[in-house]
Structure 1
Amino acid sequence: MKKYDLTVPLDVFNEIIRYKQEILILMNEHTLNTQDNSIKDALVHVSESEIYYLLEYHQKVFINYLYFKEESILENYLHWFYRVYLNKDLHIDFFSSIYKLWVIAYSKYLNKTMLIPVKKFYEFLDANNEEISKTAMELKIFYIDNKSDELYSFLVNAQKDKFREEILKNASTQEDFLHFFSTHVVKAMQKVGFMWEIGKISVAKEHISSSILEEICFEVINTFQKQESNNKSVLLVNAPNEFHGLGLKFISKLLENMGYKVISLGATGTPKKDILKAVEEFEPSYLVIGVSISINLYEVALIIKEVNKLNHQNSSNIEILLGGNACNDLNKPKELLKAHEYFKSVEDIVKYFD
């Protein structure tokens, strides 16, 4: 995709944030009531509830792109969006029609001057529609190796015993297991996700793969020796609107084995107000935030801002640590999000606490 730098003044960004819910509701109404044939045809393949989800997802990507000014957030989303929905038999004209409706929705809440960069942005996407769709269908988001490919095959074909055998061969120590997990298992699961996106495997196989992975890896983690308590507490949270909590579950169990007092708010995403309340109530030594979906990065930035404010007000020193694939969309996640550390893998997080 051609490069595009969308920079809007702060007052425009604030207006977009201020009216985001109203704009989303209006956009949904326009989409469901339009006479545009490409959108009407899309509703044959996509339910009204899914359309709303797609619109909300798009709006969050747009907000994150404006806030962080990182083009990878936009590119990765567009490739995913086109890849999944072209495989659901939506015609490419659908995307152009949606872009035009977004301009109409924003025009009700932004004055003509404020609307200019937004309009240019959607015109850019429309002009590059063909190129985006072509790139999306050709894109490979992972670099698979033979071992990862073998693990992928075991997972999607529900060969639990073979997957267990391969994991156990590489789990004589916790260090070995974590290295193997970060090097090969993660790539295998990335392939699972990609193959689902392009319609090569069913959602059932995607769910089975996750289930086998969780079961076997917890079996292994439970065999590792536990250390004595070190009296330090770790609050583990998934960012708001996150539903990928497997990595956080692993970290929770591993840190408990290492002697930390772990307070987990669960595998699914926790609302911002509840995260901040937990920070005040438990006063942990560390706050670990998992974020795997880039649309949630803006909310994470707001959470970190509030925790840093609490640190200053209370003269406390809660270390804010970040993990998850979403951070890979940022060039300097630690600096941009104002966290103490950022980790690319479960292996790196555990090494930090060791």
Structure 2
Amino acid sequence: MVKYSIKDLEKFSGIKAHTIRIWEQRYQLLTPKRTETNIRYYDESQLKYLLNVTLLVENGFRISHICSMSDEEFNKNLKEVAEKGLQTKEDNHLSVAVNELVLAMLELDEQRFEKIISGSLLQRSFEETITKIIYPFLKRIGVMWRVGEVSTAQEHFIYQLIRQKVIVAIDGLIDRKKTGEKYLLFLPKSEFSDLLILLFTYLLKNRGRQCIYLGADIPFRDLKQVTEITKPDVLLTFVKAPASKIDTQAYVYELSEKFEEKKILISGNPYFMDELDFPKNVRLISEVEDLIEMLTE
């Protein structure tokens, strides 16, 4: 069983730890459990409950009212909030949407996933859904996965649902005359999680850029061969696997040296990417907004 600290609850729900403690003391919102050494912790059901409470709070319910609800009333209000399309201010709406996606992942609930994505697409473009909901959600679960709070099955479940949406969106783009730079998108050898590269492909194609998408696990030798054939202007890659800082730095240098005439964009492990040395033809893409800003320069 995964054990969550109060800081974990703060991180995943957006509710300050101090506020959670006040809610516990004043309204008995949650009752923390204790380890054999008397350390407080919370289980997955309590995290899910807090995320649902957050959903109601963001929709105007007072915490005192929420804590006095019966289970039946709580679930009824939760359902009504979901069905009315999350009538909140924009920032709160986005935060709620991300929390809803977390719940959909934890509960392996495809219907819940479809509802939140469909609700977003009624209000904003697919690109805005990517930048304001999907990408922040992926950043959150990246943290959750690294500390063992999301199983591989849960991660794969939600990744595949998002991946399907992105592929359909790419296929649905109107074919326009592509006169911009040509991008070659790929993952290095032993990298298999291509979701972020697919998101980048959509953003690029939506702006009329030419894209050659190679996918995952591309050996360096094959990359050189494809580059010679297709002659791209820009190489774009993503390093996520738990490679060391030294190995990643070596890969950056190798890319820069072997493709010195090309512009190279690279994204990856947030824990040390910004500490690397980037040669003049290599640019770090730390956030999806970095790519969008670059495309508008």
Tell me which interval the TM-score lies in, with the shorter structure as reference length: 0.5 to 0.7
How far is the alpha carbon of 1:338 from its aligned partner?
5.5
Judged with a 3 Å threshold, the aligned counterparts in structure 2 of structure 1 residues 187 and 177 are, in CA distance, closer, same or farther, namely same
Cα-to-partner distance string for 1:211-233 (whole Å, 9 max, x where unaligned): 22222344455555554311521
Judged with a 3 Å threshold, the aligned counterparts in structure 2 of structure 1 residues 263 and 141 are, in CA distance, closer, same or farther, namely farther
How far is the alpha carbon of 1:242 from its aligned partner?
1.1
Question: What is the one-letter code of the residue matched to 1:156?
Answer: L
User: Secondary structure of the equivalent of 1:263?
Assistant: strand
**2:182 corresponds to:** 233
CA contact (8 A) 2:120 2:129 kept: yes
Q: Give the number of aligned pairs.
A: 211
User: Secondary structure of the equivalent of 2:212?
Assistant: strand
**2:287 corresponds to:** 345
How far is the alpha carbon of 1:180 from its aligned partner?
1.4
How far is the alpha carbon of 1:234 from its aligned partner?
0.5
**1:264 corresponds to:** 213
CA contact (8 A) 2:169 2:202 kept: no
Which one of the candidate residues 267, 275, 281 is aligned to 1:332?
Answer: 275
Cα-to-partner distance string for 1:22-78 (whole Å, 9 max, x where unaligned): xxxxxxxxxxxxxxxxxxxxxxxxxxxxxxxxxxxxxxxxxxxxxxxxxxxxxxxxx
User: Secondary structure of the equivalent of 1:284?
Assistant: coil
**1:176 corresponds to:** 128
Q: Which protein, 1 or 2, shows the higher relative CO under an 8 Å CA cutoff with sep ≥ 6?
A: 1
Counterpart Cα distance in 2 of 1:290 and 1:241: 12
How far is the alpha carbon of 1:236 from its aligned partner?
0.9
Alpha carbon RMSD of aligned pairs, Å? Answer: 3.6
CA contact (8 A) 2:235 2:263 kept: yes
**1:165 corresponds to:** 115
Identity %: 18
CA contact (8 A) 2:190 2:217 kept: yes
Counterpart Cα distance in 2 of 1:265 and 1:336: 24
Judged with a 3 Å threshold, the aligned counterparts in structure 2 of structure 1 residues 336 and 232 are, in CA distance, closer, same or farther, namely closer
Alignment gaps of 5+ in structure 2: 15-94
CA contact (8 A) 1:238 1:289 kept: yes
Give 1 or 2: higher helix fraction: 1
Q: 1:283 aligned to 2:224?
A: no
Judged with a 3 Å threshold, the aligned counterparts in structure 2 of structure 1 residues 207 and 299 are, in CA distance, closer, same or farther, namely same
**TM-score under structure 2 length normalisation:** 0.58
Counterpart Cα distance in 2 of 1:235 and 1:174: 22
Question: What is the one-letter code of the residue matched to 2:101?
Answer: L
Give 1 or 2: higher strand fraction: 2
Q: 1:322 aligned to 2:190?
A: no
User: Secondary structure of the equivalent of 2:222?
Assistant: helix
User: Secondary structure of the equivalent of 1:295?
Assistant: coil
Question: What is the one-letter code of the residue matched to 1:293?
Answer: A
How far is the alpha carbon of 1:288 from its aligned partner?
0.6
Counterpart Cα distance in 2 of 1:139 and 1:244: 28
**TM-score under structure 1 length normalisation:** 0.49
Counterpart Cα distance in 1 of 2:250 and 2:228: 16
Q: 1:305 aligned to 2:244?
A: no
Counterpart Cα distance in 2 of 1:142 and 1:271: 41
**2:28 corresponds to:** none
How far is the alpha carbon of 1:152 from its aligned partner?
0.8
Alignment gaps of 5+ in structure 1: 1-86, 89-136
**2:137 corresponds to:** 185
Counterpart Cα distance in 2 of 1:150 and 1:343: 27
Counterpart Cα distance in 1 of 2:127 and 2:152: 32
How far is the alpha carbon of 1:141 from its aligned partner?
12
